[in-house]
Amino acid sequence: MTAGAHSPIVRRGATIALAVVGVAVVVGLGLALLLRPSTVGTTGHAASASAPAGRVSTSPVVGPMSALSGTPAPTPGASRSAVLDLSDRSAYQFVSPTGNIICRMGPSTVRCNAKDRSWSPPAPADCEQAHDDIALGADGKATVVCHTDSIRQPMTAATIPTLTYGTAVKMGDVLCISQSNGISCAQSMTGDSIFLARERYEVNTH
């Protein structure tokens, strides 16, 4: 048999090999997407067309803060000179420059409240009390707080230290930063974070 007689078989073999490689690549990409870790975030605005306001979204989140907000998560490496480290204290409270948002910090915890807001977070399971505060708890998780007390009592915005824009405060593993568009806090160990503004809120969990 001549060399020309073998060429159709060789071409068919090469075509089959390329097809097998192509299928393997597609399967590999599919497995990578299925095994990719995801982050769950609750926000006061829709993260996408399929995630209505106040609902749980499974959209990927870049870092501790949702990419949707455009608000970078506070990190100890950013503007170190503007970070107030109060880790040696047992508690600390601060208010936003507008006086609208108040936060109370403890050892690696923070709880915040926005007095004037256009949003209302969904109630936690079995909660029949107020649930308008959001927090990073002692377990490091971001959550909506079911409560009967108020972090605004007995102190008011007039007597609590103001956290000026661009300034951050740190207690243990929690860092909060004041920006013109709101207050954001992140837990460095768990990656969870919260964000409060008059127009929206975020509870980002990992």
| Residue 10 lies inside a defined structural domain of this protein | no
- Cα radius of gyration (the chain): 25
Residues 81, 177: Cα–Cα separation, whole Å: 13
| Residue 201 lies inside a defined structural domain of this protein | yes
Of residues 170, 169, 186, the one with CA closest to residue 178: 169
Give me the count of residues in the chain. Answer: 206
Query: 78-130 pLDDT, tens per residue?
Result: 444 489 999 999 999 999 999 999 999 999 999 999 999 999 888 888 888 88
Cα 145 from chain centroid (whole Å) = 16
Residues 192, 76: Cα–Cα separation, whole Å: 15
| Residue 200 lies inside a defined structural domain of this protein | yes
Domain range for 165 is: 40-205
Query: 40-86 pLDDT, tens per residue?
Result: 455 654 232 323 332 222 222 223 333 223 344 444 444 444 899 99
| Residue 112 lies inside a defined structural domain of this protein | yes
> What stretch of H or E contains 11?
helix 3-35
Average the pLDDT over 164-188 and give the result.
97
Please state, for a pLDDT cut of 70, what percent of the chain lies above it.
58
